[in-house]
Amino acid sequence: MIRILILCGGNSCRSQMAEGFLRHFAGDKIEVHSAGTEAQGLNPLAVNVMNEVGIDISNHQSKSVDVYAGQRFDWVITVCDIDTESCPVFIGEAKRLHHSFFDPAKADGTEEEKLEKFREVRDEVKAFAEEFVSNFSA
């Protein structure tokens, strides 16, 4: 089984969305996990906008990357600009991929304006995940 770890700063939005989309598009072809340099809790706006597209991430848990220390992954994907010193070394020869997305949790404005930023990022993450899975080679 191909194992993928998606890393972000807080494991509250972007990495959670990516985990949801990768699971959705790849089905049982991969085992996907997400974590952050620190666990900040699942952002409810991320849950809301993913529900809008039919993907339920409400049962996801925000986890620290330390949970996965020493485990083998085939891919480690970073979705924010965390520095490489924050990313642990994983056993084996994990392929690394970086794609930075804006952190929607930092959006200002009204509740609707914040939701709109979450939707924009969700759609960018969806396109990224869809392309990754379509180009996926074991």
Q: Which two tokens stand for residue 55?
A: 């993907």
87 tagged catalytic: yes
Which of 5, 6, 7, 8 is the catalytic position? 8
Model pLDDT for residues 102-114, shown as the tens digit of each residue: 999 999 999 999 9
Q: From CA 127, how far away is CA 138, in angstroms rounded?
A: 20
Tally of structural domains, the chain: 1
Which of 17, 26, 80, 129 is the catalytic position? 80
Q: Kindly report the CATH number assigned to the domain that includes residue 128.
A: 3.40.50.2300
13 tagged catalytic: no
80 tagged catalytic: yes
**How many other CB atoms sit within 10 Å of the CB of residue 93?**
9
Q: Which two tokens stand for residue 87?
A: 């990313």
Which of 2, 39, 87, 97 is the catalytic position? 87
Model pLDDT for residues 10-22, shown as the tens digit of each residue: 999 999 999 999 9
β-bridge partners, 31: 3
Q: Domain of 46?
A: 2-134
